[in-house]
Amino acid sequence: MRSEAVLVRGAQRTLVSASEQAVEILIQRLRGVLIARQYVMMDYNCPTAVLSAARKITPGMESPTVSPLDEEGWVAVRAMVLRAEAQALMDRLWAAGARAILVTSLEACRL
């Protein structure tokens, strides 16, 4: 079975009513869910010596989050990546020296 959802509203006016603001919020939320379905969050640990290469593999939306680990010379990296590319990116990261690679689904986002 195939289905489709359609949001219908009247023409926008110059004065923004409370109901029009509510519709805009709903649209933002729906857009966030649809975008989140295309991406996953990838977390991994890597030696600082390979961080530059790893960042090129997973640049994230704007920049990956990089945090120091308790083990000297290691960092934790977190970046959003396209869901369809996740497995190939994990292979490349592993080959570059990253370890403890995790992929987590997203429920919603705002970009």
Domain assignments of the chain as residue spans, ordered by start: 40-105
Nearest CA-CA partner of 89 in 35, 43, 50: 43
Per-residue model confidence (pLDDT) at position 87: 98
Per-residue model confidence (pLDDT) at position 11: 67
In tens digits, the chain (111 residues) has pLDDT values of 998 877 777 666 655 677 778 888 888 888 878 787 889 999 999 999 999 999 999 999 899 999 999 999 999 999 999 999 999 999 999 999 999 999 999 888 878
Per-residue model confidence (pLDDT) at position 12: 61
Half-sphere exposure of 33 (CA within 13 A, CB side): 5
Per-residue model confidence (pLDDT) at position 20: 78
- If you ran DSSP here, which 8-state letter would residue 61 be given? S
Per-residue model confidence (pLDDT) at position 70: 96
The residue type at 78: R
Contact in structure between 83 and 92 (CB atoms under 8 Å): no
Structure-block tokens of residue 64: 């990956």
Model confidence, pTM:
0.78
Domain 40-105 matching CATH 3.50.50.60: the answer reads: no
